[in-house]
């Protein structure tokens, strides 16, 4: 039983359509965010994420980085829906009140919230093992949120930014020998920043509303996360592994290892989305406007599941189950 089975069998309550309408529920459990009707024009889009010490972050993490990470990984779900961030609420469980920890945490929190236009409007503080939960709220014009369910056969598949950097950053922190890599200072700093202070693609998400037929943010790796779009949309997604966007920092990494990190490394928080081939020019123009790479990495076809192409049979076999490869801080 994985986390998704557990949610499906215990927490995906079935409600009468009339009740859902009465309560203003547009989209419930199962996507990056839930959606409710906010006004005649707008819909409220919201999502919650929890970070547990030792599971989702290294215990000695800089508290300022931790706050950035919490905000980025949570607001990233709003990005995936194309929503505009409004508010954040924060549940803090702390082992003790340590001013030297709280002050930098609060600084990081304020800066990260400012960066994404989130106002902190509530929360809860308790004593216990260090755990952080944030709920973010945003809005989209009625009916315009991008869900996981809209991909159609023939659509192109895209990814923003570059992949695998966060995993490289994690490896650099976990393994001092750095896999014998000769990384420059710039490459090292880039990878560490991608892991410690990931960027949620809020601007890209909103800009993609007119074009994307489906989207999600990559938290578990492209290969695994693509399955969620494939399933929700009832299509097969073909990912061309040779087209996955690689940053300058990953250049010194062995090709197969880099590919495994790009396909299976989590926490890049880039957007994976589909769009009709009619929008190719518009999406390329958008990439230039945003100054953000947006790379076509595959397509949607008849069928189900995810097919990896563009690499050898042997390597593809390694992705049959799309389980996480190597160390992960984010497994249930
Ligand atoms: P993401 O990786 O995008 O943050 P999750 O895997 O955490 O998404 O959650 C998948 C879906 O299941 C979301 O719609 C989320 O709201 C829902 N969900 C997760 N845990 C619970 C729970 N305990 N009760 C109800 N819904 C849940
Ligand atoms: Mg998500």
- In Å, how far are 29, 36, 95 from 7, measured between CA atoms? 8, 20, 29
Can you tell me which atom of ligand 1 is nearest the CA of 33? 14
3-class DSSP assignment, residue 272: strand
Structure confidence at residue 166 (pLDDT): 95
pTM beyond 0.75: the answer is: yes
Can you state the percent helix, strand and coil of the chain, rounding each to 5? 40, 25, 35
Distance 30 CA to ligand 1 centre (A): 6
Using CA atoms, how far apart are residues 191 and 74, in angstroms rounded to an integer? 20
What is the atom index within ligand 1 of the atom nearest the CA of 49? 4
Q: In a structure prediction context, what are the per-residue pLDDT tens digits for the chain, which is 332 residues long?
A: 788 888 888 999 999 999 999 999 999 999 999 999 999 999 999 999 999 999 898 888 999 999 999 999 999 999 999 999 999 999 999 999 999 999 999 999 999 999 999 999 999 999 999 999 999 999 999 999 999 999 999 999 999 999 999 999 999 988 866 666 788 999 999 999 999 999 999 999 999 999 999 999 999 899 999 999 999 999 999 999 999 999 999 999 999 899 999 999 889 999 999 999 999 999 999 999 999 999 999 999 999 999 999 887 666 655 644 444 444 444 44
Cβ(295)–Cβ(286) under 8 Å? no
- pLDDT per residue as tens digits for the range 128-170: 999 999 999 999 999 999 999 999 999 999 999 999 999 999 9
DSSP state of 11: I
Q: Which ligand is nearest to the CA of 80?
A: 2
Tell which residue, 283, 300, 296, 298, has the closest CA to residue 154.
300
307 Rama sector, left if φ>0, alpha if ψ -120 to 50, beta otherwise: beta
Query: For ligand 1, atom 17, which residue shows the shortest CA distance?
Result: 29
Distance 141 CA to ligand 1 centre (A): 23
What is the distance in A from the centroid of ligand 1 to the CA of 19? 21
Q: What DSSP line would sit under 111-136, residue for residue?
A: HHHHHHTPEEEEEEEEESS-EEEEEE
Q: Which of 29, 216, 331 to mutate to test the pocket of ligand 1 (most atoms within 8 A of CB)?
A: 29
Q: Return the best residue to mutate from 1, 5, 7 for the ligand 1 pocket (most ligand atoms within 8 A of CB).
A: 7
> Near ion ligand 2, which residues have CB within 5 Å?
32, 77, 217
User: Residue 45 forms beta bridges with which residues?
Assistant: 35, 138
Q: In this structure, are residues 294 and 162 in contact, taking their beta carbons and an 8 Å threshold?
A: no
- d(CA 285, ligand 2 centre) in Å: 25
CA of 34 to the centre of ligand 1 (A): 9
> Dihedral sign, CA of 140, 142, 147, 152?
negative
C-alpha span between 144 and 206 (Å, rounded)? 10
CA 182 to ligand 2 center in whole angstroms? 33
Amino acid 311: pLDDT: 81
- Asked whether the CA dihedral 217, 326, 312, 293 is positive or negative, the reply is positive
Is 215 in contact with 151 (CB distance < 8 Å)? no
Question: Which of 228, 224, 244 lies closest to 293, judged by CA?
Answer: 244
For ligand 1, atom 1, name the residue with the nearest CA: 32
Name the residue with the closest Cα to ligand 1, atom 3: 32
60's CB contacts (< 8 A; 6+ apart) are: none
- Measure 76 CA to ligand 2 centroid, in angstroms: 7
Residue 266: per-residue pLDDT: 82
What's the pLDDT tens digit per position in 76-119?
A: 999 999 999 999 999 999 999 999 999 999 999 999 999 999 99
Alpha carbon of 45 to ligand 1 centroid (Å): 14
pLDDT of residue 277: 98
Q: Tokens 């400012």 sit at which residue?
A: 114
Q: CB under 6 Å to ligand 1: residues?
A: 7, 11, 29-32, 34, 49, 77, 219
Using CA positions, which residue lies closest to atom 16 of ligand 1? Answer: 29
Q: How far apart are alpha carbons 266 and 15 in whole angstroms? A: 33
Q: How far is CA 38 from the centre of its chain?
A: 25
Indicate which ligand has the atom closest to the C-alpha of 34.
1
- Angle at 116 (CA atoms; ends 202, 49), nearest 5 degrees: 80
Cα separations in angstroms, 10 against 4, 51, 177, 184, 225: 10, 22, 44, 48, 22
Give how far Cα 229 sits from Cα of 34, 66, 157, 238, 324, Å.
16, 29, 11, 12, 18
């Amino acid at each position: 039983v994985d986390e998704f089975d557990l949610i499906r069998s215990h927490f995906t309550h079935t409600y009468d359509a009339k009740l859902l309408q009465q309560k203003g529920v547009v989209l419930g459990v199962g996507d990056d965010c839930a959606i409710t009707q906010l006004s005649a024009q707008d819909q409220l889009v919201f999502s919650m994420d929890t970070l547990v010490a030792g599971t989702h972050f290294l215990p000695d993490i800089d508290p300022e980085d931790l706050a950035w990470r919490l905000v980025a990984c949570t607001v990233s779900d709003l990005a995936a829906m194309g929503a505009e961030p409004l508010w954040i609420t924060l549940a803090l469980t702390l082992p003790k009140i340590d001013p030297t920890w709280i002050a930098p945490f609060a600084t990081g929190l304020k800066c990260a919230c400012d960066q994404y236009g989130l106002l902190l409007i509530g929360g809860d503080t308790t004593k216990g093992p260090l755990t952080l939960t944030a709920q973010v709220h945003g809005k989209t014009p009625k009916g315009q949120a991008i869900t996981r369910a809209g991909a159609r056969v023939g659509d192109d598949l895209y990814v923003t930014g570059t992949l695998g950097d966060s995993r490289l950053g994690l490896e650099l922190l976990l393994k001092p020998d750095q896999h014998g890599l000769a990384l420059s200072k710039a490459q090292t700093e880039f990878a560490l920043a991608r892991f410690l202070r990931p960027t949620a693609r809020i601007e890209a998400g909103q800009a993609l509303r007119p074009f994307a037929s489906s989207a999600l943010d990559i938290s578990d790796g492209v290969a695994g996360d693509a399955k969620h779009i494939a399933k929700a949309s009832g299509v097969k997604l073909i990912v061309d592994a040779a087209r996955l966007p690689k940053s300058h920092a990953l250049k010194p990494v062995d090709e197969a290892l880099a590919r495994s990190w790009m396909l299976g490394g989590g926490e890049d928080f880039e957007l994976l989305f589909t769009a009709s081939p009619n929008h190719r020019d518009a999406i390329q123009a958008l990439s230039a406007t945003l100054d953000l790479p947006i790379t076509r990495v595959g397509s949607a076809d008849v069928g189900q599941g995810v097919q990896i192409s563009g690499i050898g049979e042997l390597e593809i076999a390694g992705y049959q189950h799309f389980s996480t490869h190597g160390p992960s801080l984010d497994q249930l």
